[in-house]
Amino acid sequence: MFPVILAQWLGWVCLALTCLAAGWRGRRPERLGAALVAAAWILTLLVEQRRNWLAPQTGMFIVDLLTFAGLAAIAYWSRRAWPICAAGFQAVAVLTDLVFHINPAAFYRAYYMSNFSVGFLLLGAIVVGIFFERGPPAPISPR
The residue ranges of every structural domain in the chain are: 29-132
Q: What percent of the chain has pLDDT over 90?
A: 52
One-letter amino acid for residue 12 of the chain = W
State the Cα–Cα distance between residues 26 and 129, nearest whole angstrom: 8
Q: pLDDT band for position 117 (50/70/90)?
A: confident
Tens of pLDDT, residues 48-87: 877 776 777 888 899 999 999 999 999 999 989 999 999 9
Residue pair 83/95 in contact (Cβ under 8 Å)? The answer is no
Selected residue with higher pLDDT from 101 and 138 = 101
139 — pLDDT class (breaks 50, 70, 90)? low
| Percentages of the chain per state (helix, strand, coil), in multiples of 5 | 75, 0, 25
